[in-house]
Chains A and B, each alone.
Chain A
Amino acid sequence: MLNFLGTGLLSSFAQTDPAELFDDYCADCHSIGEGDMKGPDLLGVERKYNEDWLIKFIRSAKTMISSGDKKAVDIWEKYNKSKMPDTNLSELEIKSLIQYIGNLNKNKVEVITSTPSNENKSSVSNSTNQKIENLNSKIDKYETELQNFEKKIDLILEYHKKSFSARITDEEINRGKELFEGDRPFTNNVPVCVTCHNTFKIDSLNWNPSAHDIAKVLSNRDNMEMSTIIINPSSNKMKEVLKDNKLTDDESFYITAFLQSIVKPGLKEHKKIPIKLILFIIVCILMFISFFDLIFTKIVKQKWLNITVCFVTAVFIGNTIIVNARNIGLSKGYTPIQPIKFSHKIHVKENKINCIFCHNSPEFSIESGIPSTNVCMNCHNKIKSGEMTGQFEINKIKKSFKNKKPIEWIKIHNLPDHVFFSHAQHVNVGKIECQTCHGAIDEMDITSQHASLSMGWCVKCHRESEVQFENNKYYSNHKELHNDLKLGKINNVTADKIGANDCAKCHY
């Protein structure tokens, strides 16, 4: 039922934005109208060279230079013999790129010609000026016609969009769900989606985006675009998976319907059975019954049995209450699901990035600093694809940067409001390693809270940690302690001896 649309039209939707293409492939070495960088300024490049030549050159400059193409060699020599890397862009994409550069060019040229006091122009005779004006006016006319045409196309497309979105029914969503979760097989032996993409919340590691993640990313497009993307995905991994087996249009539409339906509610949660609570209640009832029997009904003749049951259950209940009460407000092992599947293990252990490279203020501020998006972009401007997550997670950073919306991380180490903690004091003055409190962060793919952060935990460490007594001149004022050290009365000075456990060191 979807086949009435030609695949040509569909594929035109799948095309990526040329501006994005430029950013990805060209912007590192080229600018448009802002001067030469590593490579030449591309302003007016579409006029200098013909399109076929450009396509060939962009695909593989190296082969053209080695084949001795004169123009190519000229450029190569002019720009310090740096070869342009080969690209795997399609012809269509390169054409769109050239068109994009041309459009920008037109705008810039117009600006230049419209400035009245151009001295070079004054020497040109009036007649040529007139000709140019005539031509310009013709161009304008064509452009307005073109714009009108584009508007009409937009209108038609808008109509289709509406008709598509109206067509989603519950039945289609269910079909999509069955397909996604593998309850119904795909026609072309396509692997089941749910093997990689979760539909439930999980707390273990899955590098692949969940169904909800995908739905969120695609949800700003209309259903038609979405199903096209599902058939022709842009990521390398998905291309690999769907290389031989294609989804049918119907199937992709059902999946679209399913994805659209989960954008708002989000991932489902597995129903948790509160085993502990049930056990607790059963024990309570048991205790009540045996107690009741012991005193009133007296059905069980062996009193010792009832007494033992009462005693054991009472101990169990007491213990449960105490253990739970002590853990109120503590969240050791807290592992929230972050908006980006960021792995400290990959960054710290595998890529050997120092903590302070991203968390840049623990040495002088009370806070260590959550890296801002621009810090991420320092590297991820170049590193666009990860080994584990492909482009999907890294694209979120890019998106945040482009949309000017900061990433909303979920805070793991929460100290209560009435606790003052300074990173500078501990990291810089106390020379304590990050790992002492944050655990083996370099082994964590999903970051979780290592320490309990209870007051007992703080105080214990203060009692055990030695102060940098000799190394920091600030402490030279503690003359008595220095004397005692010299005389051997004490072996070391721990933090609590100089007041680290005073109330208002942390609470004020």
Chain B
Amino acid sequence: MKNYWKSIEEKNQKVISKIAEEKDMSQNTIIETLLEVMKFDNSTSRRDFLKLGGFSLAAATLAASCEAPINKSIPFLIKPEEVVSGIANYYASSLIDGSDYCSILVKTREGRPIKIEGNELSTLTKGGTNARVQASVLSLYDTERLKEPLHKNSKTSWGEADNKITPLLNSINTKGSKIVILSSTIISPSTNSVYKAFVKKFPNTQIVYYDAISASAILMGNKKSFNRQVIPDYRFDKADIIVSFGADFLGTWLSPIEYTKQYVQNRKLNGKSTMSKHIQFETGMSLTGSNADERIPIKPSEEGIILINIYNQLAKINGSPVYNINVPISPVDIKPIVNELWTKREKSLIISNSNDIDIQILVNATNYLLGNYLNTIDLDTPLYVKQGIDSEMEAFVIDMEEGNIDALIINNVNPAYDYQNAERFKRGLTKLKLSISLANTLDETAALVDYVCPDNHFLESWNDAEPKRGFFSLAQPTIHKLFNTRASQESLLKWIGENIDYHNYIQKYWEEFIFPLKNEFINTEFEFRQFWNKSLQEGVFEIPSSTVSKKSLKFDSITLQDTIYTIVQNKKSVFGDIELQLSESVAIGHGKHANNPWLQELPDPISKICWDNYATISPIYASENGLQNGDIVTIISDSAEIEIPVLLQPGQAKDTISIALGYGRENAGKVGNKVGKNVFQFGHIANGNTQYYRSRIKISKTGKTHLFALTQTHHSMEGRAIVRETTLDNYIENHSSGNEMHEKYHEKARTLYKAQAHIGYHWGLSIDLNACTGCGNCVIACQAENNVPVIGKDEVRRRRIMHWMRIDRYYSDSIENPQVYHQPIMCQHCDKAPCENVCPVSATMHSNDGLNHIAYNRCVGTRYCMNNCPYKVRRFNWYAYSENEKFDFHMNSELGRMVLNPDVVVRSRGVVEKCSLCIQRIQEGVAKAKLENRLLIDGDIKPACLQSCPADALVFGNINDENSKLSLKHLDKRNYHLLEELSILPSVGYLTKVRNKPNIKA
């Protein structure tokens, strides 16, 4: 069998010394600390015994004599009709936060939002979410949120702030001085209209859009190529071959939820025998790269050369002009890729995340050559999620530094932290007469301004969005404002003298501009009220794309020669250097939500490290330079210098370093402060845009070391057939290829025990490894649903992470360029569960409907079940993680605990817990069916992991029902169970991973 490995150490058969030692230490911790606290010697004296005896007697008496606390039942004064205690209400809304967009359902219990679900009515996100969306509900209950407006960092009132700001703005305007609104990308049409109104009132206002991680080159590139400054609509579902240059479109790039939904459509087999092919050129290992059929590690500077060669070879086939003067040959063999692209022309897609205009123009040229426009790329329904132009931002910062700007209003951006030249921005801030921030926490920028006028949280506010042309979406408040905050739009309107509620403003805007669109495209007579209510109820209003007129395109190829020349020149200047690539992490993004403990503790999909960023280097480079995991190095460029630990990353391009942005916040809050290092300072402007890579890097060892909070090596599966895979060709030949042992084990299965009778229902789960991208959405969804505690970096280092659901990542093949596998693991709910036999107190039992139950209050914490579980899915509460000063995360504050799901108990210290397949949701579904006097229908019950999966990789259902979707999956030839040789009959099945790549004999 092929060799699968989860870390380089394992591949090299080394002992994982540091972490293993740490593990051994951890086993003794509780006893040791107890002994230490009680100052016991190893020999217990008689006096100690008496002391202990006396103490326990006193404690027992106390416990017995204590009267039960008086609980109060406080009903509503006037009960709102729609709120029934004990029943959840769902409201359609949208997450709108700069470049992040998702159509969502907000689950509220007794008036407080506790969970985000995907909205299936949106054709953009189609019911999917990602980890950041799932975690956004926790940021509502962040104790660091501002509770009232601030003036020079001291409290003030709205009236006072407004009374000072309005005349100041007016006087600045009459003087003719400049006002700037520095804003994140705004996809809300109403907010843009507020901006316009502001500009109308103060004509000297300039609006600067700024994205911390910008796509400015795509916008400018399309302007140069097609004279349209837009991000086109990429259609991954229509592409048979996807070639991506560094774009992590499944994790972070532009609209990852939408792209995952599209991408997976062509990856799932469901009886089909075709599958898209995905080739990824990239530097560091990204989530998308790990899912690619072929992944080719390259240095950032090589991207242009490879693209030129691809273009030239395609042009040669096509008969278009070829530009190969002085062009170096490609460092990788591109011949097969070119051939495949040409045979699948018009159904191919080339994308790049490069922020270099020249490269984007070249990408456009190649796509144009392949005839992809109007097929897989659509410029007529552009994406609006990133609108910032880097050169405008740079011009503004220079302007501000020179003192040409009097007033600055900062909306939803944090340049003092994430601008590549933050010092310069900070210097500029001091030259202003008036600076206002609308941030809702006191972030790095807000701490430096005159007035902070805190915005509402998005779950408290009205808003609307148009993330893509024609796709409108509404956001409604799901809770009353928790603090004395005000919608940013209302603040802006107030300052221009309009006292209008933003809710009314949006309604007016929709009546005037969006309602007419409805009449234009859909021939049904509607009152505006009906239209508004329907849109609000569904959360979205979409104009069918078929009605959008397609304009013909003409690629402007005049500059192509210059473009290629520049790329070649640029490449020459960096030859033979170590290159640094700055990436965006799936969980933390550009760092705005660094104070969200759920996101901090979400292990990175590839490295499986949480609570940190680090410099990933290739193992070859490491061995050449004597570096090991956790060695701290100094990385120096001409403008910045940091100390950061290194991680040996299989698949990292040689002579490159990758570091995730978004860490090293100073003013994020107690959770996010000083986690990792800020590397935004390594960005630099070149060719008019911020570049997220850097050449001419010096790297030197400091001699210090760092311990990572690494979760992958927590649970080892000892190289058995956990992941099963095949290639597309083999699959077509034989559907059970790669899964031959399934039949064998099935025949061999013997057992001593009586067969379990599952009367009525038998719940099970199926996971399609071909669909799962490993994004981590389910991990956070599960955490939110099941009140899973956050334990912090130290405890994760001791291998005590509490996630009920984990995604294991395995590598195979070479260290230089491995294949990667993602495998979600939760309790397998075995019919003959090994954990049940060993529990001395019968705390974990098998149920009638095939679930493995655990009664926390019966558990005494022997952890025998954890030892006996072959999948290592059980978690032990080493401490009380709720209301404990030592675990100062959301569960330690009254506010943060508001996010807890009242249907799931908060576990106490000393008990074992694990996935229950969302028993509370099963109960809810069953109760509903009973109340409605009907059978359960397939799809009635959706566990949290499954509901919002952007890849639709999971199926839940009744194994007893032969026609259920789940049964069909379980009968699929690709289906197998983990460790089926043990014949413990898990209810969770996996479908083999199929890669679309040529057959190579192992």
Chain A residues proximal to chain B, CB less than 8 Å: 324-325, 328-329, 331, 334, 336, 361, 364-367, 369-375, 400-401, 404-411, 414, 416-418, 420, 422-425, 428-429, 472-478, 480-481, 498-499, 502-505, 507-508
Are B74 and A418 in contact, with the CB atoms below 8 A? no
Instruction: Indicate whether B342 reaches chain A with its CB closer than 8 angstroms.
Output: no
**Given contacts A406-B75, A420-B903, A504-B919, A367 and B849 within 8 Å (CB-CB):** no
**A417-B905, A420-B923, A480-B759 are contacts. A504–B847 as well, Cβ < 8 Å?**
yes
- A507/B77 in contact, CB under 8 A: no
Please give me the residue from chain B that is nearest to A422 by CB atom. B927
Q: Are A474 and B930 closer than 8 Å at their CB atoms?
A: yes
Contact B86 A508 (CB under 8 A): no
Contact B929 A410 (CB under 8 A): no
**Contact of B75 (CB < 8 Å), options: A373, A420, A429:** A373
| CB-based nearest A residue for B960 | A477
The answer to whether B78 and A328 have CB atoms under 8 Å apart is no
The reply to whether A361 and B86 contact each other, CB–CB distance below 8 Å, is yes
Say if the beta carbon of B673 comes within 8 Å of chain A.
no
A507 and B84: CB pair below 8 A? Answer: no
Question: In the docked arrangement, what's the CA distance between A401 and B76, Å?
Answer: 11
Q: How far is the CB of B787 from chain A (nearest CB, A)?
A: 11
Cross-chain contact A324 with B855 (CB below 8 angstroms): no
Closest 10 pairs between A and B when the two form their complex, measured CB to CB: A499-B848, A504-B853, A367-B86, A366-B86, A372-B79, A502-B847, A372-B76, A503-B853, A365-B86, A370-B75
Q: Is the CB of A504 within 8 A of B916?
A: yes
Is the Cβ of B77 less than 8 Å from the Cβ of A401?
Answer: yes
Q: Do B85 and A365 touch (CB < 8 A)? A: yes
Q: Name the contact of A425 in the complex, choosing from B71, B847, B927, B935 (C-beta under 8 A).
A: B927
Inter-subunit contact B70/A473 (CB<8 Å):
no
Which residues of chain B are near A373, meaning CB under 8 Å? 75-78
Report which of B68, B87, B851, B929 forms a contact with A504, defined as CB distance below 8 A.
B851
Residues on B close to A: CB < 8 A?
A: 63-64, 68, 70-79, 84-87, 759-761, 843-845, 847-849, 851, 853-858, 903-906, 916, 919-920, 923, 926-927, 929-931, 933-936, 960
Given A366-B86, A502-B847; A410-B73 close (CB under 8 Å): yes
Evaluate contact between B79 and A414: CB separation under 8 angstroms: no
B857 touches A404 (CB 8 A): no
Known A411-B72, A503-B853; 5 more pairs at CB < 8 Å: A366-B87, A373-B76, A481-B759, A503-B845, A507-B905
* Chain A residues whose C-beta falls within 8 Å of the C-beta of B87 in the assembled complex: 361, 364-366
Given contacts A406-B75, A410-B70, A474-B936, contact A507 B759 (CB under 8 A): no
Please determine whether A503 and B847 come into contact, CB atoms closer than 8 angstroms.
Answer: yes
Look across to chain A and name the residue whose beta carbon is closest to the beta carbon of B916.
A508
CB distance from A463 to the nearest CB of B (A): 14
Please judge, given known A-B contacts A370-B75, A507-B857, whether A429 and B930 are in contact too, CB under 8 Å.
yes
Residues of B within 8 A of A414 (CB): 68, 71
Whether the Cβ atoms of A472 and B930 lie closer than 8 Å is yes
> Is A418 in contact with B759, judged by CB distance below 8 angstroms?
no
Given A325-B64, A367-B86, A502-B853; A409-B75 close (CB under 8 Å): yes
Say how far A346's CB is from chain B's closest CB, in angstroms.
20
A398 → chain B closest CB, angstroms: 12
5 CB contacts below 8 A, A to B, read A370-B73, A374-B79, A407-B75, A477-B760, A507-B856
Bound-state Cα–Cα, A408 to B64, Å: 28
> Chain A residues near B934 (CB, 8 Å)?
473-474
- Given known A365-B84, A365-B87, A477-B935, contact A499–B79 (CB-CB < 8 A): no
Residues of B within 8 A of A331 (CB): 68
Contact assessment for B70 and A361 in the assembled complex, using a CB-CB cutoff below 8 Å: no
Q: How far is the CB of A55 from chain B (nearest CB, A)?
A: 37
Q: Which residue from B78, B84, B929 sits with its C-beta under 8 Å from A474?
A: B929
Q: Is the CB of B759 within 8 A of A406?
A: no
Chain B residues with Cβ below 8 Å from A334 are: 68
Q: Is the CB of A429 within 8 A of B847?
A: no
Instruction: Please give me the residue from chain B that is nearest to A468 by CB atom.
Output: B930
Chain B residues closer than 8 Å to A423, beta-carbon distance? 86
Distance, CA A250 to CA B848, complexed state (A): 76
Nearest-neighbour CB distance to chain A for B615, whole angstroms, equals: 43
Q: Does more than half of chain A's interface fall in helix, strand or loop, or is it mixed? A: loop
Q: Report the Cα distance A329→B63, complex, angstroms.
A: 10
Contact A406 B930 (CB under 8 A): no
Q: Chain B's nearest CB lies how many Å from the CB of A407? A: 7
Q: Given A504-B853, A504-B854, A409 and B74 touching (CB < 8 A)?
A: yes
A429/B853 in contact, CB under 8 A: no
Report if A474-B933 is in contact (Cβ < 8 Å); known contacts: A370-B73, A498-B759.
Answer: yes
> Of all chain B residues, which has the CB nearest A274?
B65
* A375 touches which of B68, B74, B79 (Cβ 8 Å): B79
In Å, the complex CA distance between A422 and B936 comes to 19
Query: How far in angstroms is the closest Cβ of chain A from B860?
Result: 15
Q: A410 near B72 (CB under 8 angstroms)?
A: yes
Q: Known contacts A477-B760, A481-B759; is A329 also within 8 Å of B930 by CB?
A: no
A406 with B905: CB separation less than 8 A? no
| B857 with A418: CB separation less than 8 A | yes
The answer to whether B903 touches A372, judged by C-beta atoms less than 8 angstroms apart, is no
Give Cα A505 to B905, complex, Å: 13
**A324:B64 contact, CB within 8 angstroms:** yes
Check A408 against B847 for contact (C-beta < 8 Å): no
Give the residues in chain B near A502, CB-CB below 8 Å: 845, 847-849, 853
B303–chain A nearest beta-carbon distance, Å: 51
Q: Are B935 and A473 in contact (CB under 8 A)?
A: yes
Q: A222 → chain B, closest Cβ, in Å? A: 28
Q: Is the CB of A508 within 8 A of B70?
A: no
Chain B contacts of A473 at CB under 8 A?
933-935
A329 to B73, CA, bound (A): 19
The CA-CA distance from A422 to B931 in the complex, in Å, is 12
CA distance A477 to B929 in the complex (A): 12
Q: How far is the CA of A276 from the CA of B533 in the complex (A)?
A: 66
Is A418 within 8 A of B856, CB to CB?
yes
Q: How far is the CA of A424 from the CA of B844 in the complex (A)?
A: 27
| Cα-based distance from A367 to B79 in the complex (angstroms) | 15
Cβ of B855: which chain A residues have Cβ within 8 Å of it?
A: 418, 503-504, 507
Give bound CA distance, A461 to B779, whole Å. 39
Query: B933 contacts which chain A residues (CB < 8 A)?
Result: 472-474
Shortest beta-carbon distance, A138 to chain B, in Å? Answer: 37
Q: Is the CB of B935 within 8 A of A474?
A: yes
Task: Determine the chain A residues whose CB is within 8 A of the CB of B72 once the complex forms.
Answer: 408-411
Contacts of A404 in B (CB 8 A): 77
Instruction: Give the residues in chain A near B857, CB-CB below 8 Å.
Output: 416, 418, 507
A477, closest chain B residue (CB): B760
Q: How near does chain B come to A474, taking the closest CB pair, in angstroms?
A: 5
- In the assembled complex, which residues on chain A have CB atoms less than 8 Å from the CB atom of B76? 372-374, 406
Query: Which residue from A329, A499, A503 sits with its C-beta under 8 Å from B854?
Result: A503
Q: How far is the CB of B178 from chain A (nearest CB, A)?
A: 43
Residues of A within 8 A of B64 (CB): 324-325, 328
> Shortest Cβ distance from A396 into chain B, in angstroms?
13
Contacts of B74 in A (CB 8 A): 370, 406-409
User: How far is A410 from B855 in the complex, measured between Cα atoms in Å?
Assistant: 29
Residues from chain B with a CB closer than 8 A to the CB of A420 are: 903, 920, 923
Nearest opposing residue in chain A for B848, CB measure: A499
| Assembly CA distance A342 to B70 (angstroms) | 18
Whether B77 pairs with A405 at a CB distance below 8 angstroms is: yes
Instruction: Name the one of A366, A374, A424, A477 contacting B78, with C-beta atoms under 8 angstroms.
Output: A374
Q: How far is the CA of A17 from the CA of B851 in the complex (A)?
A: 65
Q: How far is the CA of A34 from the CA of B357 in the complex (A)?
A: 69
User: Considering residues B79, B845, B851, which has the most beta carbons from chain A within 10 angstroms of its beta carbon?
Assistant: B79
Taken together as a complex, chains A and B put the C-alpha atoms of A423 and B75 apart, in Å, by 17
Residues of B within 8 A of A476 (CB): 935
**A477–B762 alpha-carbon span in the complex (Å):** 11
| CB neighbours of A364 from chain B (8 A) | 84, 87, 931
| Chain B residue with Cβ nearest A400 | B77
* Residues in B whose Cβ lies below 8 Å from that of A424: 927, 931
* Chain A residues with CB under 8 A of B960: 477
Contact B759 A478 (CB under 8 A): yes
Task: Give Cα A499–Cα B762 distance, bound, in whole angstroms.
Answer: 12
